[in-house]
Amino acid sequence: MNRTNIKICGIADAQTLNAICEHHINYVGFIFYDKSIRNVTAKFLLELEGIDFKSSRPVCVFVNPDEEEVYRAISFFDNPILQFHGDESCDFCESFGMDYWKTIHMQSAASINAIENYSSADAFLLETYKKDLYGGTGESFNWDIVSDEVLANSNIILSGGINLENVDNALSVKPWCLDINSGVESEPGIKDTLLIDRMINKIKS
């Protein structure tokens, strides 16, 4: 049986990043969006040089960035994945010549059709739709609307409000990856390493 990949997103301090990398999870996410409470700081980016990512691959998350912003952010990482969380075109996502994920904001079952517009994406992150918000809602959408056909033909990442109480339900969908963010925080924007430990152990078990 294929094990579901794990991404912990919204990491904004070196101590938490070190603790997460000790688990050798698949992906660690960093948000480059000024309006997010999890937006990375210049100080944190400078601390990355001393971090051993072990087997975890960095994912840089953007919301409608300009080209310069993307290049500046990825300069701090080795072999990052680009995650585009806004209204970026396929041409823009492809223009960097790097692996990229595209977020689909799930307003209804029909929202999944947007996958067809990004045939070059390596994965699709399905996020709860909320008017005028790009992620960080902490709310789940109805995971049952993700069909087996979609799951079989695309790398699907479930995101939005996944916590210790509902992670078993998320796993039952059999996504390619789970994106965990607010569900392992003691308060908004503050990661709790004990919750992270419990979450990772629960998914891996």
The full set of domains in the chain, from first to last, is 5-204 (3.20.20.70)
Q: What is the pLDDT of residue 43?
A: 96
Query: How many Å apart are CA 197 and CA 47, to the nearest integer?
Result: 23
Mean pLDDT by 10 residues, the chain (205 residues): 88 96 97 95 95 97 97 97 96 98 91 95 89 61 89 94 94 96 94 97 94
Query: How many Å apart are CA 118 and CA 9, to the nearest integer?
Result: 22
- Asked if residue 85 lies in contact with residue 77, where contact means CB atoms within 8 angstroms, the answer is no
Q: What is the pLDDT of residue 93?
A: 98
- Asked if residue 6 lies in contact with residue 171, where contact means CB atoms within 8 angstroms, the answer is no
Contacts 24+ apart (CB under 8 A), 170-173: 170/140, 170/143, 171/4, 171/203, 173/143, 173/144, 173/146
Q: What is the pLDDT of residue 167?
A: 95
